[in-house]
Amino acid sequence: MERPDMSRGMTVFLLAVIVILMAVLALVLLRYRRMEKFADRTMIQVNDMLEQLILGREVKCFSENEDTLLGKFQTRAGRLYDIHRAQEQREKELRDQISRSVSDLVHQINTPIANIKMYSEFLKEDFLTTEERRHFADNLERQARKLSWLGEGFAKISRLETGIISLNPELQPVLPVVLSAVDQISLKAEQHGNDICLEGRQDLKACLDRKWTEEVFFNLLDNAVKYSVPESRILVEFLEYEMYIRINVCSQGTKVEREEFARVFQRFYRGKNAAEQEGVGLGLYLAREIVNGQRGYMKGEYDSEKGNVFSVFLRR
């Protein structure tokens, strides 16, 4: 038979084991409850942080100095918030830009439309002489051309500003681009008596988008012909710098003052000597936008020997 003292010892041992297991279980339950409360508190903080981000307020709920998952999560959530805000800002700027462009265009087309209406009314009069009718018809044609220039110029500018057309500069020779622009303006220059001369190294290369950079030089040469003295020389000069290729378009005409050079690149601005010439004041603005879009820049200055000088700087 089993001895009573052994039986009692076994019972005590089992009770001790049960007590220990119950204590462990209680400890586990207690830690589980603490973890559950910590998780609930953490999720509430995460929810509050996300809610504030949705409302447009960036808040910091966790320490960014500690290398924890919550800190990393907060950092990435903040980055997403910054990206979202930057996108919203770009969209707002684009809307504002489109609104300003439309307002500018409406303002600019009002004058030629009013003139067309006025000259059309004049042409209905029976007492006009043949010379007067021809005069009004010529005025109608000029106003129609102005509307056409406004439409074409604004279409190009809006496509560039809104990113519909992107510039793709590649390293290539500059001379063929300039010669193509010279070819387009050659007839007008010949009629005005201008001789277009090229000077400097003509084997230079630069990073440029050929089609749009050709537009730049056409606008500069067109202005040079329009505002230069008849029978004068127009100089296209090629210069090489460490980081840029510089192309100067120089013409002899009415001197552009230093303070006016700061304004000639503005949209719709026309200089003091431009009143008698046809135009809408978009050429230089478009040229600067194209050059800036290729990480280059433009400037204007007056030189006592070369006359008015408009310079294009293109990256090498």
Structural domains in the chain, CATH included, are 4-84 (no CATH), 96-161 (1.10.287), 170-315 (3.30.565.10)
Q: CA 213 to CA 314: how far, in whole Å?
A: 10
Q: Quick one: pLDDT band at residue 63, thresholds 50, 70, 90?
A: low
Number of H helices, E strands in the chain: 7, 7
pLDDT for 212-250, tens place per residue?
898 889 889 988 988 888 889 999 999 999 999 999 999
For the chain, the average pLDDT equals 79
Residue in this structure with the two tokens 């990435």, named with its chain if needed: 76
Distance CA 139, CA 116 (A): 8
Question: Residue 40's pLDDT is what?
Answer: 67
Q: How many CA atoms lie within 13 A of 10 on its CB side?
A: 6
pTM of the model: 0.58
Instruction: Give the residues across from 197 on adjacent strands.
Output: 235
Cα 107–chain centre separation: 23
Give me the residues paired with residue 245 across strands. 240, 314
The three-state secondary structure class of 172 is strand
> What is the predicted pLDDT for the residue at 162?
63
Distances (CA, A) of 206 to 58, 176, 221, 238, 313: 45, 12, 20, 12, 9
CA distance 309 to 315: 19
Query: How many Å apart are CA 40 and CA 115, to the nearest integer?
Result: 73
The one-letter code for the residue type at 100 is: R
What is the rounded CA–CA span in Å between residue 208 and residue 177? Answer: 9
pLDDT tens readout for residues 31-43 = 877 777 777 677 7
Task: To the nearest 10°, report the CA torsion of 254, 257, 262, 268.
Answer: -40
Burial of 214 (0-12, 13-18, 19+ CB in 10 A): buried
Which stretches of the chain are assigned E, i.e. beta strand?
A: 170-173, 195-200, 205-208, 233-240, 244-251, 297-303, 307-315
